[in-house]
Structure 1
């Protein structure tokens, strides 16, 4: 079902997750992740090249909360990079890959899907760690040196880096939610089975977990 590697780290104290937004942003790739992060108590803040509005592939206009130059790893629990046509068409998004390196160097996780994985490959961030993408030849076309670490998997977690292909937004979200502790163990697996496989038994597990959480809050 999945292939994940690396170790689990303690969740960073920050409760803010930064979602990178830029023109041609692939709308469908991060919706599961951001919605359930928000429901799990995280604040989602968008970060663009500047604070000027951007337009997604689906034609939605998004005004970033802050500019990339004002984003610092110490203020974030995770940086999420979504796919976009611009990753392969120009070098305009290279600064986001550079920021990803700064996050990883600081021990703050980065999650990249689709075209963003190619951007990280070009920046050398996939040369020496397990990863995946939409297809191995897609990353090979970047000229990167990490082909030996490519995994045929729906999503891969390797310490502070999560990668996934464009057709796996649910698996991508599973890795993000697990890495930040929104769900874990049986409940994380149930969440994935519900949204990926439409498994009705998984709903029962999640509902029982939510009821238990509500009871704990009432007793607190």
Structure 2
């Protein structure tokens, strides 16, 4: 069974990765359930932005990037105060091992500061948001809901469904018809798309 490592830290933005994590863990629309492993800097519980208490399954030190299949980084307050360096270092190790990294909202700023977006097309909350990090990838910024390039999938905070869709595409877990139906159901509330999604 494939493994998705999900980074957890104080004020993690629950809603940003909710769609993705559910689809990976259940495989309800892809037919391929994954193991989801939460990763903390320590094994101490963290409290998400929504107030949920999460106890990490493992620490960063326990993770062997080339034994995983995906690293997921959500937004949180830490990214806007220059934090999260341990997780961006881990992201670099995943990418060096050829394993995809999916980052949404503030986590994209962390990747930008670490230089991981300089040579890859990417998106975020806004171009100006990433420019404030002083990174060198401004000319590769794409004004889109979600962008995948060079094993990095990025999205802004308003696009959790598109983020999930882009990651499923990157992982080869659903064909275009099913991905479009997924966005139809969960973003556009199109009841006609449901039959395609579950079919």
Asked if TM exceeds 0.5, the reply is: yes
How is 1:116-155 mapped onto 2 (pairs within 5 angstroms)? 116-155=107-146
- The root-mean-square deviation of aligned C-alpha atoms, in Å, is 1.0
Is 1:27 the counterpart of 2:14 in the alignment?
A: yes
C-alpha separation in 2, matches of 1:174 and 1:146? 24
C-alpha separation in 2, matches of 1:200 and 1:166? 25
- Determine which of 18, 31, 34 is the counterpart of 2:5: 18
Is 1:38 the counterpart of 2:29 in the alignment?
A: no
- Determine which of 199, 202, 205 is the counterpart of 2:190: 199
What is the match of residue 10 of structure 1?
none
What is the match of residue 175 of structure 1?
166
C-alpha separation in 2, matches of 1:148 and 1:191? 31
Q: Look up the SS of the partner of 2:192 in the other structure.
A: helix
Structure 2 gaps, min length 5: 28-32
Name the structure, 1 or 2, with higher relative contact order (CA <8 Å, separation 6+).
1
C-alpha separation in 2, matches of 1:203 and 1:90? 41
C-alpha separation in 1, matches of 2:149 and 2:109? 16
Q: Which has the larger radius of gyration?
A: 1
Higher mean displacement: 82-91 or 112-121: 82-91
Give the deviation of 1:204 after TM superposition: 1.3
Give the deviation of 1:177 after TM superposition: 1.6
8 Å Cα contact 1:50-1:64 kept in structure 2: yes
C-alpha separation in 2, matches of 1:95 and 1:190? 36
What is the match of residue 65 of structure 2?
73
Higher mean displacement: 47-56 or 82-91: 82-91
The alignment of Structure 1 onto Structure 2 pairs a total of residues equal to 194
What is the match of residue 218 of structure 1?
none
C-alpha separation in 1, matches of 2:43 and 2:82? 20
Give the deviation of 1:90 after TM superposition: 4.0
Higher mean displacement: 24-33 or 81-90: 81-90
TM-score of the superposed pair, with normalisation by structure 1? 0.86
What is the match of residue 54 of structure 1?
46
Q: Which runs of 4+ in 1 moved over 6 A?
A: none
Per-residue CA deviations over 1:155-192 (Å, capped at 9, x if unaligned) read 00103000000110000000112222331221111111
Per-residue CA deviations over 1:13-72 (Å, capped at 9, x if unaligned) read x61101000001001100000001112110111001111100111111100000011111
